[in-house]
Every structure is written in structure tokens, then in C-alpha cells.
Amino acid sequence: MPRLASVHVMAELDELATRFRDFGRSSAARAPLYGRLAPCIADEPEILELLGVAPAEQQLPVLLFAAVHHLVLRGDEPDLERFYPNLVGEPDSGDPFPTFRECCRRHSDALRALIATRSTQTNEVGRCSQFLPALGMLADEVGTLAHLDVGTSAGLNLLLPRYEYRFSPGGSVGGPSPVVLDCATRGGVPVPATLPDVGASIGIDIAPIDVREDEEVRWLEACVWPDQADRFARLVAAVELARQQPPDVRRGDAIGALPELVGEASAHGHPVVTNSWVLNYLTPSQRTAYVATLDELGNQRDLSWIIAESPAQTPELPIPAASPGEDITVLSLVTWRGGHRVVRRLATTHPHGFWVHWEHRGTTRQR
């Protein structure tokens, strides 16, 4: 029996090692620090084992990196901090792995506690740039909107009307604001002349983060890759803005909470559900149930749903894929009017909203 257990553990470690090697190859361009560390971690069973306390679906390189980043942000690892571009002006160009390994050994208990109780959460406010054109289209059609953001984390995307947008080409919308979102456009993105009127903004998250709690915000910051200092800076700015008037974020799962909250939001405007790089964390059966819930709600009242997900990772969604296994962020709009559902593929986008390539020319899929 012990031998069988050992074989099982070795298989799990081999799988984790493969994930880190794959991550190192795929992230090297976007996250050089993690790209250098990942293949080294793959050869260190002692570090790989730290992920064993996480649920199976969360045993991912980004969770370990976020846990270590959290310690660095807390000031527990000044020696490692010098390698983090978001924290120092001139990061150390030497080999970060020996210092990273010592950090993991020294703080193994603290890292296990974080890994066991946390999940990767992003509040990428840049995604508001890809939502805005679709919201503008809806506002032109139905007037005042009521925004429901699913998987909202700290609810920073609910602050969409309080940000300033600079589309190139397309012009500026909103502001002035301490949070400025730049977005390159192609294909005639329908940038609205003004921000849409939003009568209510409600977020739903299974484990919401309170922007008033420093430790909670630190975890959110830790989930940003340190090489992407611009994302880190605008997250910090968005949190400061949110603390002035905290968003309305409710604890709940994506399926069970929707019916009541859609009904609540409908009293304040046309309900619009958004989700961005959230549904890939659900199981296939959960995604199927999520779509079924929205279909049921759409049969009862007019409803809109803006999707920013990867068709390859969320095949259960009604996203019109351009090719089999399309692994890019696709922006789609699903509307229910009088119980009739229409699906429109609008654009492909950068996962963090840095660019939008518009595709929609009025063609739709109907059901």
C-alpha cells in the first residue's frame, strides 16, 4: 500500500513538473521572471509539494507564484524583492532561483496556509475597455443599464463608469479619473460618445475581496505578474478609487446567486451580466448549468450577457468560434428579447484589454 501511495504521489509531482515547464515556455515573453523560475521549480519536488494542499483544480503554477509574491509584498522577503520589477526600479539581473528556493524553504508553512485557503483572483480593470463598446451598444438600444459582474473578486470592474478610456483610434471617453485605460483598436470599434448610464452595479463572487482590508487587497495584488508593472500600478490606483466608495459585492456562486440578483437589478435598469476569464475555472457541468440559468432568466425577462472568454477553454458557452480550439479572448454578446436568444460574436481582444479587434458586422446566430 505505501508503494502504491508513493507511485501516486510521484505521478502527481510529475504532472506538476510538466505544468511548470509548460508555463515557463508559454509565459517567458509576458512574464520573464516567472518564465525563468518555472523550469527550475519543475526540478524541485520539495517546492512542487507545496501545491499539494490546494484543491486539484487550483494546483497551478500561478497559485504558487502568487503565494510567494504575497510574502514579498508583505515585506517578509527583502532579498527576493530585488528581483521583482513592480517593486524596484532596477531589478536584479542575476539568477533569482536560489533566493526563491530559500524563500520557499524558510516560509513553507506560511505558503501552505496561503495555498490551502486562497485561489487565484484577478481584477483586471483593463477589461472594462472591451466591455465598454458592447455596453454602449446596449445603452443605445435599451437605455439605463444594471450591471451584474460574475466572478468579480473585489468588484473593480463595477467601477467602469468611474474610469477614463483612451481608444486609439476612437478617442477618449469619461474622466478625468486616476485610472486611465489605454486601448488600441482595429476594425471600427463602436466607441460610445459618452459613458452609458448605469443604474445599479452588483458583483458576485464565491470568495469576494474587501477593498477596505489591506491583507485582502495584498492577495489581489499578488496575483498580478510582477513583470507587468503597468497592470500592478493601475490595480493599486483602482483600489484607492474603490475605497472612496466601495462597490456592492455579494458572496455567492455564479449559478445560484444569479436569479435573485437579476431580479433585484432589473428594478434599476436593463440587466446586463458580464464575465471575463472566469468561466474557465468552472467545470464543464457548471458551465452548462450557468448557460441554462441565463437561458431560463432570459425566457422570463429581457436580458443581456457580455462574454469575454476563450472558446477553447469554455466550449459549453454559446460563443461562435472562428476555428476549432480557438484559444484567444473572444468578446461576444448574447441577448434575450421577448424570450428569443441572439448570439453575436463582436471581437477578439487582448486578455487584459490592451487592444480590441472588432469583427461584428451585423451577422448573428439565432435560436
Omega before 271 within 30 of 0, i.e. cis: no
Looking at the structure, tell me whether residues 108 and 148 fall in a common domain: no
Identity at 300, one-letter amino acid code: Q
Looking at the structure, tell me whether residues 230 and 353 fall in a common domain: yes
Give the C-alpha distances (Å, rounded to integers) separating 212 from 16, 242, 286, 335. Answer: 35, 9, 31, 35
Looking at the structure, tell me whether residues 106 and 129 fall in a common domain: no
141: Cα separation from own chain's centroid? 28
Q: Which of 117, 147, 167 is the last residue of a domain?
A: 117
Looking at the structure, tell me whether residues 156 and 29 fall in a common domain: no
Strands 198-205 and 355-358: unpaired
Residues 6+ apart with CB under 8 A from 222: 66, 67, 69, 70, 73
* Cα separation, 123 vs 219, whole angstroms: 11
Give the CA-trace dihedral at 278, 282, 285, 287, to 10 degrees.
0
Looking at the structure, tell me whether residues 92 and 158 fall in a common domain: no
Q: Which of 83, 117, 151 is the last residue of a domain?
A: 117
Looking at the structure, tell me whether residues 14 and 92 fall in a common domain: yes
Is residue 283 a contact partner of residue 272, using CB atoms and an 8 Å limit?
Answer: no
pLDDT attached to residue 358: 97
Reading the block at residue 133, the C-alpha cell is 463598446
pLDDT attached to residue 7: 58
Which residues are 341's β-sheet partners?
Answer: 336
Q: Which of 77, 96, 117 is the last residue of a domain?
A: 117
Burial of 117 (0-12, 13-18, 19+ CB in 10 A): exposed
Predicted model pTM: 0.88
Looking at the structure, tell me whether residues 134 and 83 fall in a common domain: no
Looking at the structure, tell me whether residues 137 and 109 fall in a common domain: no
Q: How many domains does the chain have?
A: 2
pLDDT attached to residue 366: 45
pLDDT attached to residue 104: 98
Looking at the structure, tell me whether residues 103 and 213 fall in a common domain: no
Looking at the structure, tell me whether residues 139 and 112 fall in a common domain: no
Looking at the structure, tell me whether residues 237 and 145 fall in a common domain: yes
Give phi and psi for 237, each to the nearest 5. Answer: -65, -40
Segments of the chain with pLDDT less than 50: 1-5, 363-367
Looking at the structure, tell me whether residues 144 and 198 fall in a common domain: yes
The residue range of the domain holding 101 is: 2-117
**Burial code of 267-283, b = ≥16 C-beta within 10 A, e = fewer?**
ebbbbbbbbbbbbebbe
Strands 198-205 and 180-186: unpaired
